[in-house]
Every structure is written in C-alpha cells, then in structure tokens.
Amino acid sequence: MRRPRLLAGLAGLALTAGLLAGALPAGAAEPAPADAAPARTAAAPSYTWKNVRIDGGGFVPGLVFNRTEKNLLYARTDIGGAYRWDQAGSAWVPLLDHIGWDDWGHTGVVSLASDSADPDRVYAAVGTYTNDWDPGSGAVLRSADRGATWQRADLPFKLGGNMPGRGMGERLAVDPHRNSVLYLGAPSGNGLWRSTDSGATWSKVTSFTNPGGYRQDPSDTSGYNSDEQGIVWVTFDESTGSGTGAGATTTKTIYVGVGDKENAVYRSTDAGATWTRLAGQPTGYLAHKGVLDAGNGYLYLAYSDTAGPYDGGKGQVWRYATATGEWKNISPVAEADTYHGFSGLTLDRQRPGTVMVSAYSSWWPDTQIFRSTDSGSTWTRAWDYSSYPDRTDRYTMDVSSVPWLTWDATPTPPERTPKLGWMTEALEIDPFDSDRMLYGTGATVYGTTELTRWDRDAKFTIRPMVKGLEETAVLDLVSPPSGAPLISALGDIGGFRHTDLGAVPPMMFTSPNFTSTTSLDYAETAPDTLVRSGHLDGGPRIAFSTDNGANWFAGQEPAGVTGGGTVAAAADGGRFVWSPDGTAGVHATTGHGTSWTAAIGIPAGATVESDRVDPKTFYGFEGGTFYASTDGGLTFTARATGLPAEGDVRFKAVPGRKGDIWLAGGAPGTAYGLWHSTDGGATFTRLPGVDQADAIGFGKAAPNAAYPALYSSAKIGGVRGIFRSTDAGATWVRVNDDAHQWGWTGATITGDPRVYGRVYVATNGRGILYGDTSETGGGDGGGGTDPGTPPAGACEVTYEVVNQWQGGFQADVTVTNTSTTAWNGWNLGWTFAAGQTVGQMWNATAGQTGTGVTARNAAWNGTVAPGGSASFGFTGGWTGTNPVPAAFTLGGARCSAG
C-alpha cells in the first residue's frame, strides 16, 4: 500500500544553511570558532552501489509499452522514480537516480510517454506534490537514449506524482506521427499544455478552456485532497495522421480526459486548434482512462466516482464509436452491483476486440480484472464465487520469488493470500504478445506470459515481475555487530531482517505486522535483543525480539499512544525507553514491555537513543535541548542547549565509547550542521565546514584507525552527498557521485561494523542502497611500502596551499609518476623552510622530524602507473610566514616542480 508521503522539514531545502550565531547560555552547544578551518574533502574513493533487495514495496500507477519496438517497456512510481524493463535480465533498470537533494520532488513521476516514432526517446513528467509539501515546480524530462541521460524543461506549475488521481492517465502523450509534438495535462487549474520541439519548451493550449475542477475533498485545508485534478489523459487517434520523421503529418484527432464529472471527454479534429465536448457522454463520473482502438474505431473509457487510487465506490465502462458518435455502456457489472470504480484499461493490439479493465478500488475481498473478446459485449472475470465464500480463480499465484507478498496472512474466505492485488490502476497487454500482461498494485508489479489461456478456461500463472524495481520509503536502519548484517524499518510494509543483501527476504516483520516501522534499535553488547516501534491501527505499536529479529512478540503500551515514535534499547538489552506518538510521553521499562513507567524531566515527543556502553544511560532531544538519564530512563535532566530548534534532528551514540555522541540536523536559515559531544551531551562542538547534515552513522574503522568510520548525508564544501570520515570528522570524502543521488536521503544512514567502507543509505522511494569501496584493504590513510629509489627525474610534484587562516593552513599535494615503470608504493619528502608543522593528513601517512616531512602512500593508492598520479592533503600550522617547500624527493631522488 502507498499512503501519502510527506517529507517533514523539507520546505526550504534549496536555501543556504545559516551558521549558529548569537550568545549561548552555559552548557550550550559550542559553535565552530570563527577562524577554524573548514572541513576538508578529499577525492572520492571508488564506490559501487546496489539495492538491498526487497523487490517492489510501493504503488506502481503506470506501465507504458512502446507501440513500435518489442519489449520496450517503462514503469512509473509515485515517489520512487521511473524504470525501463531489461528483457535480457528480466529486471527493471532505474532511470532517475541522478536526481539530487534540492530536486527531490522530481522522484515522483505523474506520467511517462515512450515515442513510437523514435523508440530511443522517452519523456517523464515529474513532481511529487502540488501543495506546499513540495517546494519545487514540476518539469518534463526528456531523453534521447531511453533514459540513460536526461534534459529538463521546467514548468511554471507543480505536478503531483503522489497526489490523488495519480493512477489516472497517461497525462503525457507524444504525437505518433509528428513526434516533435507532445501534450501534457496539468493539475491545479493549469489546463492543457503543448510542446512542438520535442519537449524542450512548453506553452499553454489557450483554446482548451476546461481546466478540470474536480477535487477529492474541497474541505481539506492542507491542499492535498482539495487540489483540482485537472487534465488527466491525452490519447491520439493515429489513423488521422501519417508517416514519421520529416515527412510526417500532424495527427488531427486528439481525445482529452478532464477531471470534471459533467464534462469528462473532449476532442479536437484539427490538431489541437479547437476543442469540443463529446456529445452524449455519460456524466456523474471521472474518466480515469481513455484507450483508443483506432482500427475498429472505438474509444474505451473506464470511469469511477472518485479520483483514486484508494477509494471509489461506483463505476462504469463505456465505448464510444469514433465514426458515428454512438455511446454504449459496456460495464461488466451493473452499476447497482458495483462497490468499486474502474481504472486499469488495456487492449490487445494483436487481437482486435479484446479489452480488459480492472476494478481498482475493490479492496475486499480482492481486486477484480475483467476480460472481453468481443469489444465489451460480454465479459469474464479473473475470479468468481462458486458457493460463497468459496472462490474459483482462473489463475494461480506464484510469489516464490517475492514470498513476503503473502504478508504471512491467513485470511478468512473469500479473501486469499497473496491477493490478486489492490490499487490496480496500471494494466497493460504487450502490444506484440497477446500472452503477456502486466499490472501494477500497491506493492508490486504482477504479470503473466500465459494470458490467452484465460479464453480456453485453462489456468494461467501470475508472478511478480518486479526485480530491480525498489520502491520503499526507509525510516530507520541498524547494522548489528553480529547476526543479520542489516535490519530495516520501512514505510507501508514494516521492515525486514536482511540476511543476504542480494536476496529477497522471505517475510517482513510479523507478530505484530506494523503498517510502518518508525524506529529500530538493538542492544549493543547483546545484539540478538532488538526492539521496534511503529504504526498499527488499534495497536500494539511496540515489539521485541531475542533472536536478532528472526521472530518478534508484541509488548504492552501505556495509555495515550497513537503511533510508533522512537525507541531505544539499553546496551545490555535489560531495559528500553520509548517515546511514542500521542499523549503518553516518554516511558521506560525493564524486561520486554509488560509494564511501563513514565519518565520525568523530558518532554513528550522527544527523540530517544541509548548510550552504547552504559546500560543505564539514555539520551533524548527535543526543541534544541539535549537530555540525559543515568537511571535507566526514569529521570532525565537537560544538558546542552542551543542546538537546532527547527527542522529534523537525529543523533546517535558511538559504539564502544561511553558518552560519545554525534548530532545532525537543523533547518536552512537556522542552526544546521553536525555536532559532537564526548561528555554525554553536556557540551557539543559544531564541526567546522559541514554546511548541513541530516543523518549520521558509524561503521567499521579504517585500517590502522581506532575510531569508527563516520557516514553522513550532508552538505560539505557546498556539495550535497553521502560523505565518509575515517578520522573522527576532521576530513571527509564524498562516496557517492552525481549519477547516484536518489533524491532525499536524510532519514537515516549507517555503516557496517563488520565491513570497512560499506554504507547503507536510506531513500524516500528508492529503497535501501548500499555502497562498497574498491580501496585495497580499505582505509583513507593506512600505511604503505617504501618504493625504494626511483630514477632521477621520475616524479613531478604539485604543492598548493588551498586555504590559510591565522596560525593554520591546508595544502593539497599531487605526485605524478613520470617514469616508464609502475610504482609499488611511494614515499615523498620535503623540508619546511619556515618551521611549519603537519597536523592531520589524509590519503597518506605523515611523518615529521624537525623541519623534515615525509608522506607515505596509503594502502589503496601505492600503485601508480606511468603517467599516473596520487594525491593527498593535510592541515598544518605556521607562524610568521608559510612558504611553499623549495624541493621534493621521492625515495631520495629529486622531483621536478609541477
């Protein structure tokens, strides 16, 4: 199921973060000194990125086949981007991972169009919300290489990939003959738009005067359900144009669906110059889809009384004869007998007259799919009652590849598990293969390659066809030091214990099965003990495990709980602290939640975490104030103040180090960054140079390093990304790149305590990504081997002071191999003429005796091919002057200056 997704605290992401300023009271967080050096970032090590496999997990509202090239198929999701089907690999390929933090709304895809005249071209209309939840405007992305790369045309209005009505469509369409012409149906009263230059620029079609005023709930003050649906689909009649390319004629007849129950369908017969409401059309319903069989001259329409995708109590299916204007009600169910609307609608292009439609909003006992082979005169159903409550199904469900789709449920007939589906608004028969059908649900993409067995009363098999399409919103992640490498908290499907990152888990968390898990924790010194909290109508909303998350049991909950909130486990697993949503406030328990004691000294709604060493120490944060408890969470006292009071704030305690805490968060225009405490939260120091930070996590220390590797979703040096530090935050490297950004990544992050360099990244719609480094042995500053004495003139050095302040500086150094043989390690030396000193060095190991300095390669950058280079940097100190060294030697041989 996909619920409306709101990213709290993102209203101003595009603004520049301000520094914490002003006088601070005693015990307050300490700002960075005004003359402190900014955080240094080194060149990114090589990382590879993969999804932790779940397969699906969210609503797929649209599937689009190309009409002229076999096996060219796209999928759109409401918050998780777009995908292209890879036939050879039987998997989906993500296409919008390049979307960055500031443009996170563009991960919501309201419509897709594949160009039938030029199959290399594909278009995506993007934008997640039309209300103020999304600060950005919509855009149309265009690609000439099937989504490998994109160009963007910004629109002067918003689009709603996760708004009501997102299963209607497609709103975006390409003229099948003059493919430089596209149409886009806009929401929010913005009307119909057209491009005549292949999506590069757009203008409003002023001759189309009905902007579509239907609103799901006009009384909704948030703007979510009260927004106008607008123009919801565009369909070309390809029989009214000819040719492709330079000699093509523009398609003359175009049909448009409008969010208006009295005036739902319009037509132009002069290539969009003028428009007319189709006479005699049914009223009282919204036309979710309009699909044209140009050969037979029929426009099929699926109607519902609401916009969906969750609701719809009545519906109809109609057929319009394009030549005569005749309307015919071909509904497979009499209106009086419907309890659902119709939406999913498709034709078999190989078998004219075969049409299928879905009862998208039939939640109970199951969705229904109808099929006709005589243009809608008669219909058969995917399932029927034999003798209520028993059912006879035309199909079998094989979910062995994604076994969690059963939800571990044991429903009472006539319900089945797994369900045929729900929210089934995307339904498509392959235009080249009558046996192949796919449809989207609220959790997956299902399909069959045996569809025509339906017509022979022979059972056909439906399977998940969702590999590679990862569409979960990730709310929390933990990587314990033993047991499963990763345990996840997810929206809508609860979460999983991931024993193999490359395999689909057999089942989500059950007993209880939260609709969304909001918080996870494990006992640091007893990692088989876990606790999770989450949302569940009627409760319970907290659960415990004593076998590393393999099995769970529910705890009791105090009065006033309405949601999961945050939860923390003591280091030894002997007690827990819970800060649920609602009026209950923070509570503590020993054992496994059979009784709870209200904590004092900490406000309701505070975020809670545990110290990773002392089992009686817990921490909390709320409204800019940090709290601590030393009696197992029964009483808290305020410690540091002056921390970010606005925006989202997340903090964690470092494993193995009592009282060592990192805190990330804030809001643009206010305090926003990364803070560190080593005294249990009594004082915090803000890290210089970290412009913004939203999540912090820890992983295995680098080789030869004692402190855990830090990982953060942050903005450092003006660049947004996923960053790693191996020296307690003194220096950082960005480990992702511009092709791997995944929109918003601020919910949570963690390293792996067993694998150096591995980081798990949470996204809001693209699932869990994990990155592994190719660094030999790992590490950003490990030791190397002495290369001996290279030949004279075999090296060139560039030394640059990149930043300098009173008493300190940073320098970048590059050493190039100008010889004809590869180096297997290097050791660069120089002398400081003015008595400067080396402080922290990254990507090399420093040594200094008096004024003489050496820099030895790290474990991963010692091999340098002829013509290749290695780079490193360092911070240093100076007094008086800071001249550049006059000479450099490599293994005793002098290098030339670069």
Three-state secondary-structure class, residue 754: coil
Secondary structure of 291-312 as H, E, C letters:
EEECCCCEEEEEEECCCCCCCC
Tell me how far apart the alpha carbons of residues 650 and 661 are, in angstroms, rounded to a whole number. Answer: 11
Tell me how far apart the alpha carbons of residues 878 and 303 are, in angstroms, rounded to a whole number. Answer: 76
- Region of 546 (left: φ > 0; alpha: ψ -120 to 50; beta: rest) is alpha
Q: Residue 724 CA to chain centroid, in angstroms?
A: 20
Paired with 65 in beta bridges are 73
Tell me how far apart the alpha carbons of residues 125 and 140 are, in angstroms, rounded to a whole number. Answer: 4
Is 537 a catalytic site residue?
A: no
Contact 801, 876 (CB under 8 A): no
C-alpha distance from residue 728 to each of 685, 693, 706, 779 (Å):
13, 15, 9, 13
Contact 233, 217 (CB under 8 A): no
| H/E stretch holding 65 | strand 62-65
Q: Residue 605 CA to chain centroid, in angstroms?
A: 26
For tokens 């609701």, what's the residue? 311
Neighbour tally for 497: CB within 10 Å: 23
Q: Of the listed 55, 78, 103, 691, which one is catalytic?
A: 78
Task: Name the residue type at position 6.
Answer: L
Residue 98 per-residue DSSP state: T
Q: Pairing state of beta strands 731-734 and 40-42?
A: parallel
Task: Name the residue type at position 142.
Answer: R
Tell me how far apart the alpha carbons of residues 521 and 109 are, in angstroms, rounded to a whole number. Answer: 33
Full strand arrangement of the beta sheet holding 553-554: 516-523, 526-535, 542-545, 553-554
Q: Please count the CA atoms within 13 angstroms of the CA of 683 that sit on its side-chain side.
A: 8
Residue 893: which of 845, 813, 844, 823 has the closest Cα? 823
Q: Of the listed 118, 237, 492, 691, which one is catalytic?
A: 492
Paired with 383 in beta bridges are 393
DSSP 442-483: SS-EEEES-GGGGGGT--EEEEE--TT-B--BEEEEE--SSS
Tell me how far apart the alpha carbons of residues 844 and 874 are, in angstroms, rounded to a whole number. Answer: 9
Tell me how far apart the alpha carbons of residues 878 and 827 are, in angstroms, rounded to a whole number. Answer: 23
Residue 535: which of 517, 553, 551 has the closest Cα? 517
Q: Which residues contact 456 (CB under 8 A, 6 or more apart)?
A: none
Tell me how far apart the alpha carbons of residues 828 and 846 are, in angstroms, rounded to a whole number. Answer: 10
C-alpha distance from residue 801 to each of 25, 668, 850 (Å):
37, 31, 21
Tokens of 807: 């008493």
Q: Is 36 exposed, middle or buried (0-12, 13-18, 19+ CB in 10 A)?
A: middle
Contact 580, 568 (CB under 8 A): no
Tell me the residue ranges of DSSP E strands in 726-794: 731-734, 749-751, 759-762, 768-773
Three-state secondary-structure class, residue 815: strand
For tokens 């203008």, what's the residue? 203
Number of alpha helices (DSSP H) and beta strands (DSSP E) in the chain: 0, 70
Tell me how far apart the alpha carbons of residues 306 and 315 are, in angstroms, rounded to a whole number. Answer: 9
Residue 895: which of 834, 808, 831, 829 has the closest Cα? 829
Is 78 a catalytic site residue?
A: yes
Catalytic residues: 78, 492
